[in-house]
Structure 1
């Protein structure tokens, strides 16, 4: 029996992920053949089953990889923003704009929802925690009106997620994106602390 090194195992897994990501983006989950995929990667189906269990497990791993990249992109927007409120708005809009990217649209927003039932519980918890942290900071700075940050995070994250699915499923995705952006601005505007008029009416 040939023992493979950890580096070789990691290289095999990375090769399968890269090939699967390419094929899933091009053909979609239903039309991606595991035999064609493993042949293209120069590997066996046994290697695929060893690392991912089955076709569904492979899809979940690809989705997790893309999710991590999306999260890094969104975090960079927050980190680079000079104004915390504009950074938050830009981050929310960027999430919706990602629904226009073919790879994200097909793999994360269509196939993952149809095959896996949507984002994993871990991914959802991470997104909610990130959103809650941002909102808590905005409340502490007096930018967002005082409210339960967890509740606001659940509402905003849920709205963004559903809007992204709505954008991805339509033939007119670009038009839907612009409509969603208008709705997003209205939604976020309601979070801001409103200046009080101290003068008598």
Structure 2
């Protein structure tokens, strides 16, 4: 029996994730066969089961990977300006804009919701905590009205998530993104001091 090194195991995991992202994005979760996916990756079903447990576990890992990439993109926005309000507003806007990106739309906003119920709970907690931290800073600067920052973060996070799902469900050519961005601007202006 050949012993696989840690590097071999990580390479296998990475290959499965990369292949799953491509196939889930193109065909969707329901239409993806594990046999076809593993054949395309040049691996066995046993490798998939070893690393992810099953197809649902693979989807969970793909969603977590995409969520992390989305978070990195949002953090770049925060890091690119000294104006905390602009960073907060632009992050909220970017989150909605990402709902039109095909991979995010199909895997995170459609398939994950249908199969997993939504993104992993830790992703939601992380996103809400990030919003809360920004709101606390904005309250200290007296840019945002004084209220419970955790409650406000949860409300804004919930609104963003539902709006993203609404945008993702739209027919091509829909103006839902523009409608959501307009409503978001009104919502955020409502919490400014």
Scaled by the length of structure 2, the TM-score of the pair is: 0.98
Match of 1:31 in 2: 31
Match of 1:117 in 2: 117
CA contact under 8 A between 1:38 and 1:48: conserved in structure 2?
A: yes
Secondary structure, counterpart of 2:29 in structure 1: coil
Aligned ranges 1:49-198 → 2 under 5 Å: 49-172=49-172, 174-193=174-193
Secondary structure, counterpart of 1:17 in structure 2: helix
Instruction: Work out the CA distance in 1 between the residues paired with 2:179 and 2:173.
Output: 10
Structure 2: gaps of 5 or more residues: none
CA contact under 8 A between 1:132 and 1:149: conserved in structure 2?
A: yes
How many pairs are equivalent? 193
**Once the 2 structures are TM-superposed, how far is the Cα of residue 175 of structure 1 from its aligned partner?**
0.4
Instruction: Work out the CA distance in 2 between the residues paired with 1:148 and 1:82.
Output: 24
CA contact under 8 A between 1:99 and 1:167: conserved in structure 2?
A: yes
Secondary structure, counterpart of 1:100 in structure 2: coil
Match of 1:18 in 2: 18
Instruction: Work out the CA distance in 2 between the residues paired with 1:73 and 1:99.
Output: 13
Match of 1:198 in 2: none
**Following superposition, which runs of at least 4 residues in structure 1 exceed 4 angstroms of deviation?**
none
Taking only aligned residues, the RMSD between alpha carbons, in angstroms, comes to: 0.9
**Once the 2 structures are TM-superposed, how far is the Cα of residue 122 of structure 1 from its aligned partner?**
0.9
CA contact under 8 A between 1:34 and 1:55: conserved in structure 2?
A: yes
Structure 1: gaps of 5 or more residues: 194-201
